Amino acid sequence: MASELCIAVVGATGAAGQTTLRILEERKFPVRELRAFASERSVGKTVTFRGEPITIRRIEPTAFKGVEIAFCSAGSAQSKEYAPMIVKAGATVIDKSNAFRMDPDVPLVIPEINAHAARRHRGILACPNCTTIVTVMPLKPLHDAGRLTRVIATSFQAVSGAGVNGIAELREQTLAWARGEAMVARHFPHQIAFNLVPAIDRFGPDGYTAEEMKLVNETRKILETPGLPVAPTTVRVPVFTSHSISITAETETKITVGRARDLFARFPGLKLWDDPAQHRYPMPIAVEGQDDCFVGRIREDLSSPNGLSFWVVGDQLRKGAATNAVQIAELLLHS
């Protein structure tokens, strides 16, 4: 690819799109021209990139002529409609929605884990679900060292995972509580301020939600372990940014706590933050704005001789979405 590229960001006004613009700047991605796209109601408005206003364009085939890489931060329905059109116009699409993740012809990529998968793309590459990314980052070194045999994962997911509407709802409800007013649930099925909602996305007939099944299926695809048992629970929590996951992982070969700490500390994209005696463990408020995932509370599983339990936190707008997407684009630069 050329040293400087024409880049498109679809969904540029949303939380993930805005973070993508910021990450492109921070990582000094070689952008010659940036084109911004969003919904019809946003056409003509502006977003800021490198201190300059960029006018939102209408999504149409001619608008993508000359684009080399397009980041799609829209919903699944929009990605299914737009991504093939953008590829036909000549661009490579890095999609952050659920539209193509389980397509066998589309690589599902976390660059620290399966960069090799990106080489077989046919115009579209998919970013995993934000919760999956944060979960799999510490699972990979354990899998390489001891072969995973079972994973139990309970996620505590920030409202920004639901986009700008989720952020607004938590803020509005918190302010309403402070004023002594009624808290109204509009975006989430229940009040989210001062509450936990153990249901993200629709339920299937087996009692698991679509969000939970994303964690199961995407983890298996990324780690290339189609039969790996994964037991998921996803919970929406009143936190603005950063997802937290409580994980218990069992391996064929026993991995001690000390060995796990060493594996985590050496793995790119992970930071070891594990000194409970000094109240040192990952928390959303400390991890927000970071590109690495932070892991701590590492201990032996009391119920399994080959099990480890630990806690991992990652900023789902950055590593869980925008940073991972830009890292994929960086892979393409060197392909």
Query: Domain holding 265: CATH number?
Result: 3.30.360.10
- The verdict on 159 and 297 lying in the same domain is yes
Q: For residue 201, give the amino acid letter.
A: D
- The verdict on 86 and 211 lying in the same domain is no
- The verdict on 188 and 237 lying in the same domain is yes
Is the pTM higher than 0.85? The answer reads yes
Rounded-to-integer distance, Cα 243 and Cα 138, Å:
14
Domain extent, residue 49, equals 5-128+321-333
- The verdict on 295 and 148 lying in the same domain is yes
- The verdict on 16 and 143 lying in the same domain is no
* Residues contacting 77, CB < 8 A, separation 6+: 99
Instruction: Using CB atoms within 10 Å of the CB of residue 194, give its burial: 0 to 12 exposed, 13 to 18 middle, 19+ buried.
Output: exposed
Instruction: Starting at the earlier edge strand, list the strands of the sheet with 124-126.
Output: 46-49, 52-57, 31-37, 5-10, 69-72, 92-95, 124-126
The set of catalytic residues is: 130, 243
Query: What is the pLDDT, as a whole number, of residue 238?
Result: 98
- The verdict on 225 and 280 lying in the same domain is yes
- The verdict on 137 and 123 lying in the same domain is no
- The verdict on 275 and 312 lying in the same domain is yes
- The verdict on 124 and 152 lying in the same domain is no
The residue ranges of the chain whose pLDDT is under 50 are none
Query: What is the pLDDT, as a whole number, of residue 334?
Result: 85
- The verdict on 178 and 309 lying in the same domain is yes
Q: Is residue 315 within 8 Å of residue 271, measured between CB atoms?
A: no
- The verdict on 43 and 112 lying in the same domain is yes
What is the tally of structural domains in the chain?
2
How many C-beta neighbours within 10 Å does residue 40 have?
8
Query: What is the pLDDT, as a whole number, of residue 2?
Result: 53
* Residues contacting 255, CB < 8 A, separation 6+: 142, 145, 146, 263, 306, 308
- The verdict on 138 and 242 lying in the same domain is yes
Per-residue pLDDT of 176-202, as tens digits, reads 999 999 999 999 999 999 999 999 999
